[in-house]
Structure 1
Amino acid sequence: MKRSLALASSDTAGYAYGSGIGGDIMVRKDRSGIGLFLLLAFALSSVFYALIIATGHLGGAKGMYVTGLMWCPGIAALLTCRLRGEGPARLGWRWGEWRWPWLAYLVPLGYAAVAYVVIWCTGLGGFGNTEFLSSMGKALGWTGAPVWLSSAGYFVLLGTVGMVRSLSTALGEEIGWRGFLAPVLVTRLGFTGGALVTGAIWGAWHLPILLFADYNAGTPWWFAISCFMVLVLSSSVMMTWLRLRSGSLWPAVVMHASHNLFIQSFFTPMTESRGSITPYAIDEFGFVVPLVMATVAVMFWMKRDAAVRSTAAALS
């Protein structure tokens, strides 16, 4: 059923209700600024693409190149708002209810744990990479401590102090992708279309460093891209749901940071190779994590109406 409502809040100025895929959604009365945002995002990113590709790996300039790249979507979103004479409130800065950031923190830990338990139990990879376990003890300065203690200590530090560092880079991307782009696309395409198109653009944004640098796990490019695109589309569904359901950018930031942190810094390096099959199974470029994430994404998608209703209620 179609509805309309006059709105006065500075957070929602310029929006009206309309009907779309998945229920009532916001519709911009004026042009959305998508084209300007994408132009700025890819133009700024091209500088860091070139620098990363020139070095051949993401660790170029001690990781500063990739940090700059991750902030390009956020800077593009802020510039777009500025050039269009809009305030940054549309990006979803308010924190909202605590339950959503906590959910966002735990969901990646959950699907990563399930995926890697499958990998370890099926022999696609082994649990307990001895080289990684040894390096954890040395990094902590606990060279005489039992392996289980140094592992537990590393995990706790990773999930707390490490999370702060991961948030600082994830924020740059999410200001752009879920703060600016996803809500606008949902207004035009409905939840399903908006989440998937955002994910497709997000995935395409990664392609230069996947194809021409070392952002992969050593599998053929076509296999790595296929697995990675399933992963980012699934992640986009979950993070778009969190963005709309909470009315806040921050749960998407937390989920992005948690995903990067636990998969890239714990579960993947914890896994020992079991031959040539292991790169095809692990990390963001193997098939197991994307398949588990796709299953979780379907669970979020089935509750998409709740996210859309929350957006509508915030405007009423």
Structure 2
Amino acid sequence: MTVTGSGKLTAWATIVIFLIILTAISAVGHFAIVELAPVSIYVGALMWCPAVAGFLSLKITGRKIASLPWGGGNWRDNIQSYLVPVAYVSMSYVIAWSLGFGGAFDSDTISEWSAELGLSDTPIQGAVLMVALLATIQFAKSLGTIAGEEIGWRGFFIWELRKVLPFGGVALFSGIVWSVWHYPIVIKYGFGDPVFQIACFTLMITSMSVIMAYYTFRSNSLWPAVMFHGAHNIYVQKIYTPLTTRNDQTRFWIDEYGLIVPVIVTIMAICYWRRAKAEGM
């Protein structure tokens, strides 16, 4: 889908416009989260910055918002895009638990969840119910803010990149930009080793971008990426990390700043890169 001549110049100009607008408006959200408080309303506002940057870029270049890939895609791609993060996150935490980098099923978390649901007398049932609710209801609730990111990243940005770069270039370029966009928050709220956590986070995000680009281009829709992003956040942040008991090594291995999730998702990304090449993307 790459273009030539003036089409490439136009695409690069659009990409630069998007990045300038995104940087400017995201600075406000980053300031609020880093300097004021990491409250959900600020986080939600920041997550909608890529969409707003995309909309403004379309306006400036004389294109319509309707030109974005709003179609629902197909159920196979949407379901797979939910299940892929479930798979790599689950594998990562099972490995971490098995190697002693943390323990499974933190009793305090289970007690808190059960009490929250009014099931203090049956903590196991409460924990199972909470996981089910997080994986479905909380997942659905999170899609509103996640859509803001994905409208910008996978609905607009990677389609512009596709005009000037091959699939691998699109995935790597978009992944690095997406990673850098998170850096102020990673540095502020990580565990205190910025070089290590930025390296792990960048590897994870860039690898995720390979898989998300694959499903976006295959389905001609931004919605598989929304599903993927939502599932990743829920299973890492809301389910597996709270369920992990901690020791001195835990922070170096689990969550989005540890090493295991990036390694596992990178292995999967290599497989998807090869699939994309085989399918002529």
- Asked if these proteins are the same fold (TM beyond 0.5), I'd say yes
Structure 2 counterparts to residues 150-161 of structure 1, below 5 A: 150-161=126-137
For residues 74 and 175 of structure 2, the distance between their equivalents in structure 1, rounded to whole angstroms, comes to 25
Residue of 106, 110, 113 corresponding to 1:133: 110
- 3-state SS in 1 of match to 2:204: helix
**Alignment check: 8 A CA contact 2:26 2:49 kept:** yes
Moved over 6 A (4+): none
RMSD, matched Cα? 1.4
Report the equivalent of 2:21: 40
Structure 2 contact 2–165 (Cα < 8 Å) conserved: no
- Counterpart among 227, 232, 249 of residue 277 in structure 1: 249
| Gap runs ≥5 in structure 2 | none
Q: Displacement, 1:85?
A: 1.5
Match of 1:267 among 240, 247, 250: 240
Contact (CA 8 Å) 1:244, 1:307: kept in 2 or not? Answer: no
Residue pair 1:191, 1:308 contacting (<8 A) in 2 also: no
- 1:225–1:285: 8 Å Cα contact kept in structure 2? yes
Contact kept? 1:187, 1:194, Cα under 8 Å: no
Look up the match of 1:300: 272
* Greater helix share, structure number: 2
Q: Deviations over 1:52-85 (max 9, x none)?
A: 1112x52x3xx11011001000111011112222
**1:206-225 equivalence runs, <5 A:** 206-211=182-187, 213-214=188-189, 216=190, 218-225=191-198
Superposed displacement of residue 90, structure 1:
3.5
**Aligned counterparts, 1:1-316, within 5 A:** 25-27=1-3, 29=7, 31-32=10-11, 33-55=14-36, 57-58=37-38, 60=39, 63-145=40-122, 147-211=123-187, 213-214=188-189, 216=190, 218-274=191-247, 276-305=248-277, 308=280
Return the alpha-carbon distance in structure 2 between the equivalents of residues 72 and 78 of structure 1: 10
Distance between the aligned counterparts of 1:272 and 1:79, measured in 2?
45
In the superposition, the TM-score normalised over structure 2's length comes to: 0.94
Q: Does the CA-based 8 Å contact 1:237-1:301 persist in structure 2?
A: yes
Aligned match of 1:8: none
Distance 1:166 1:299 in 2: 28
Deviation at 1:163, TM superposition (A): 1.0
How far does residue 299 in structure 1 lie from its aligned partner after superposition?
1.0
Identity of aligned residues (%): 36
TM-score (norm 1): 0.84
What does the per-residue CA deviation read over 1:288-313, in whole Å, with 9 as the maximum and x for residues that have no partner?
0000000111111111135545xxxx
Higher strand share: 1
Aligned match of 1:18: none
| 1:248 Cα deviation after fit | 0.3
Shift of 1:108: 0.4
Q: Corresponding residue for 1:20? A: none
Distance 1:301 1:179 in 2: 20
**Contact 2:212–2:224 (CA under 8 A) maintained in structure 1:** yes
Conserved 8 A contact 1:108-1:255:
yes
CA contact (8 A) 1:177 1:198 kept: yes
Q: Note the C-alpha offset of 1:205.
A: 0.4
How many residues are matched?
A: 276
